[in-house]
Structure 1
């Protein structure tokens, strides 16, 4: 399926994404009513890719195909987006091949209801790092996230254990230290991002639509 998407839409996935696919890390189980009670218990001990990320669901490859075939409303075809996840509102998290440098393909969030795409990381590895930090940033007990469902310490431990192979040793060490405390402030998060993830286009945004 991975190779078919590459052939059909004329791109090559980054090496890390291919490895995640090979390792079965893209499978969150079958979505639908009852997922939390029926599917989550069977995958929480070995969390797949970004299971505990905030407001993000990894797309099955069949959904990637559907989304790319349907395209984004009013999107200028000059922009080469390949989605791999969705927000709850239906926004794409996508590879942005226009700014590719070697195996580094920036990750963008493409807002479906606004003419804006925001660059979140220079590559998938940095995006995983960012999402793992954001998962414990400014937690609100009144509105618990999935990582707080059950034992947060155990969830954090399992999250890092399955994701460490796809991070740099330094990134894994930083996350381990954060998870040991159990939370992170937004200020501390921004300090880490500035120090560890800096690149020319970080947090910049651009319009992606054309209207005739």
Structure 2
């Protein structure tokens, strides 16, 4: 099955950038399974496919996309998604939430990207289009070193540099310039403010406040972080 098969069968047109990513081999992550990390990941890590090193992001194969589309459209699916809302999954989190193109929200050439929560009956706006989503995810990757899994400073920086090596061509000149400047920084520790006066320790090349500022400057989206109900009775 190919992207063209998905388009024909489900009456949907992928963004040109996504088709370019497919043409360039950036979507070729193989089929996930028990041995994927040991057998497939080593063949990809030096020339990362789409957001390979991003936190909590698993690109779906075309076969998995078709399966997810059928599940979302199933009237007996537990999510009970409103048939008037069209979501086209292309990736998922470890918890099973889906990153989707929101076909019902298309504005001219812009096809928004949303996160479809599987247990909250809501979808969350992330970006105006795929290009902006890509830049947002790269910013977030630079802001958040995976200290939970004890990723070293050297490995963190190496992953980012290799990611830029395969992703820079899909960015605007200004976006690529900003990310390259961030890569030249020293890694810092910073605190993220949480409700009720709490804080959470983070480590990366920029703070959450800097990330928010760059997002507003370079990929402004008035619906960013807004959520909406997707249930048929919502």
TM-score, with normalisation over the residues of structure 2? Answer: 0.84
Please give the alpha-carbon distance, in whole angstroms, between the structure 2 residues aligned to 1:199 and 1:153.
29
Q: Hey, which bits of structure 1, 4+ residues long, moved more than 3 A?
A: 142-145
1:197 aligns with 2:219: yes
For structure 2, the 5+ residue unaligned runs are 188-204
Q: CA deviation at 1:150?
A: 6.4
Please tell me whether the aligned partners of residues 17 and 131 of structure 2 are also in contact (alpha carbons under 8 angstroms): yes
Please tell me whether the aligned partners of residues 90 and 101 of structure 2 are also in contact (alpha carbons under 8 angstroms): yes
Q: CA deviation at 1:89?
A: 0.6
Q: 1:153 aligns with which of 157, 160, 165?
A: 157
1:112 aligns with 2:134: no
Give the structure 1 partner of residue 145 of structure 2.
139
TM-score, with normalisation over the residues of structure 1? Answer: 0.92
Deviations 1:35-90 (A, max 9, x none): 33322221111100010111010000000000001116210011111010001110
2:116 is paired with a residue of what secondary structure? Answer: strand
Please give the alpha-carbon distance, in whole angstroms, between the structure 2 residues aligned to 1:42 and 1:54.
19
1:163 aligns with 2:206: no
Cα distance change of structure 1 residues 100 and 179 upon mapping to structure 2, 3 Å threshold:
same
Please give the alpha-carbon distance, in whole angstroms, between the structure 2 residues aligned to 1:187 and 1:176.
19
The structure with the larger Rg is 2
Deviations 1:15-42 (A, max 9, x none): 0001001111001233222333322221
Please give the alpha-carbon distance, in whole angstroms, between the structure 2 residues aligned to 1:50 and 1:13.
18
For structure 1, the 5+ residue unaligned runs are none
Please give the alpha-carbon distance, in whole angstroms, between the structure 2 residues aligned to 1:138 and 1:23.
27
